């Protein structure tokens, strides 16, 4: 099948299958998978114009709602964190779109940029994994204890509920102000600077706008590595923030298209829709099964994929 906007020639079954496989795993860490779809489109499908960024964000728009729905349903959506991410990331994504079109239209320079960004993300995740933070009293962090509760709940679901025992824990917001935000999860309290995360989101939004990922692939690891927030509670917020900023990003790329007649800037809607449909199914399944996967596995999986792709991009540029 030929896609005239992108110039891609591929079977219509390939985009949704690839998107499903990627999004199933990445959505468990609060990442839509767009950061891996982009190299697939560039390196495998040969889609290298600026429109690849907007097509990637179109994928986010179609795919993300199913995963967000699961996190909301299970009570693991930290809404204050979500709004702070949106407010900070949204203007950054728009700036990033301008930078991509005006200053990084060349595929070679864009690959170097993407490689450096991915290498930094992977390095932060690895550092977080090597420096383990303990939770309260029992030598286990909150993610390990949450995993134990999930396993116990699966084994004794009916018995626990009949005796009045607790089910899967839900996030409880304690404080939300312009200065600080605090929430509780499974007996532990997590606190962060509202302004600090908003500013970080703005910077990450610029990078995400250039890369065409909405910022989720970058901000979720930052939440875990820098702010010490458990991956089980940041995934929903990161995905929701990515969804909102991707809507703005696609609209902005579409608005820029008439001003750059010599470049393909607007998304390939058909290709993006096919990717999005596969991603929709993958994210729903990933969000549903996330609580059954060890946090270590999620983090090491993301780190390995990211570092591999970063090395490939930098190597391709230097050759």
- Within 10 angstroms of residue 148's Cβ, the number of other Cβ atoms is 10
pLDDT for the residue 136: 45
Domain-embedded: residue 135:
no
**In whole angstroms, how large is the CA radius of gyration of the chain?**
19
Query: Could you tell me the CA-to-CA distances from 145 to 173, 201, 233 in Å, in that order?
Result: 20, 29, 14
The answer to whether residue 28 sits within a structural domain is yes
For residue 161, the model assigns a pLDDT of 46
Residue 2 falls inside a structural domain: no
On whether the CB atoms of residues 237 and 81 are closer than 8 A, the answer is yes
Q: How far is CA 39 from CA 49, 116, 216, 308, in A?
A: 12, 14, 16, 11
In a domain, 248, yes or no: yes
Parent domain of 42: 8-130+140-318
Tell me which H or E stretch contains 9. strand 8-9
213 inside domain: yes
C-alpha triplet 11, 17, 19: angle, nearest 5°: 115
Q: Phi/psi at 190 (nearest 5 deg)?
A: -125, 130
Burial of 315 (0-12, 13-18, 19+ CB in 10 A): exposed
Of 308, 233, 223, 276, the residue nearest 74 (C-alpha): 233
Q: Who contacts 198 (Cβ-Cβ below 8 Å, separation ≥6)?
A: 84, 87, 88
Residue 313 lies in a domain: yes
Domain count, the chain: 1
Assessment of whether the complete model's pTM goes beyond 0.85: no
Helix, strand, coil percentages (3-state) for the chain, rounded to 5, are 70, 5, 25
* C-alpha dist (Å) from residue 163 to 156, 160, 166: 11, 5, 9
Has residue 3 been placed in a domain?
A: no
Query: SS3 for 264?
Result: coil
1 inside domain: no
Spans of the chain below 50 pLDDT: 134-139, 160-166
* Antiparallel, parallel or unpaired: β 2-3 and 8-9: antiparallel
At residue 27, the pLDDT reads: 82
């Amino acid at each position: 099948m030929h896609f005239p906007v992108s110039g891609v020639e591929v079977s219509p079954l390939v985009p949704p299958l690839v998107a499903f496989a990627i999004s199933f795993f990445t959505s468990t860490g609060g990442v839509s998978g767009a950061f891996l779809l982009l190299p697939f489109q560039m390196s495998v499908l040969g889609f290298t114009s600026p429109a690849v960024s907007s097509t990637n964000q179109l994928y986010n728009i179609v795919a993300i709602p199913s995963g967000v729905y699961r996190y909301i349903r299970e009570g693991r959506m930290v809404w204050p964190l979500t709004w702070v991410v949106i407010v900070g990331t949204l203007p950054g994504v728009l700036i990033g779109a301008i930078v991509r079109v005006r200053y990084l239209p060349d595929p070679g320079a864009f690959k170097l940029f993407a490689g450096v960004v991915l290498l930094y993300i992977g390095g932060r995740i690895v550092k977080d994994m090597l420096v383990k933070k303990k939770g309260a009293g029992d030598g286990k962090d909150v993610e390990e204890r949450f995993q134990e509760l999930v396993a116990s709940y699966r084994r004794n679901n009916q018995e626990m509920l009949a005796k009045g025992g607790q089910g899967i824990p839900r996030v409880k917001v304690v404080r939300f102000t312009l200065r600080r935000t605090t929430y509780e999860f499974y007996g532990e309290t997590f606190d962060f600077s509202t302004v600090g995360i908003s500013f970080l989101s703005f910077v990450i939004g610029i990078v995400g706008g250039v890369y065409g990922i909405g910022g989720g692939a970058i901000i979720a690891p930052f939440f875990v590595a820098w702010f010490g927030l458990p991956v089980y509670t940041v995934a929903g917020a990161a995905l929701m923030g990515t969804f909102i900023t991707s809507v703005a990003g696609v609209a902005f790329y579409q608005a820029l298209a008439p001003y750059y007649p010599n470049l393909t800037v607007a998304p390939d809607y058909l290709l993006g829709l096919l990717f999005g449909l596969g991603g929709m199914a993958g994210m729903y399944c990933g969000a549903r099964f996330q609580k059954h996967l060890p946090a270590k596995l999620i983090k090491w999986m993301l780190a390995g994929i990211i570092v591999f792709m970063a090395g490939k991009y930098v190597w391709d540029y230097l050759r």
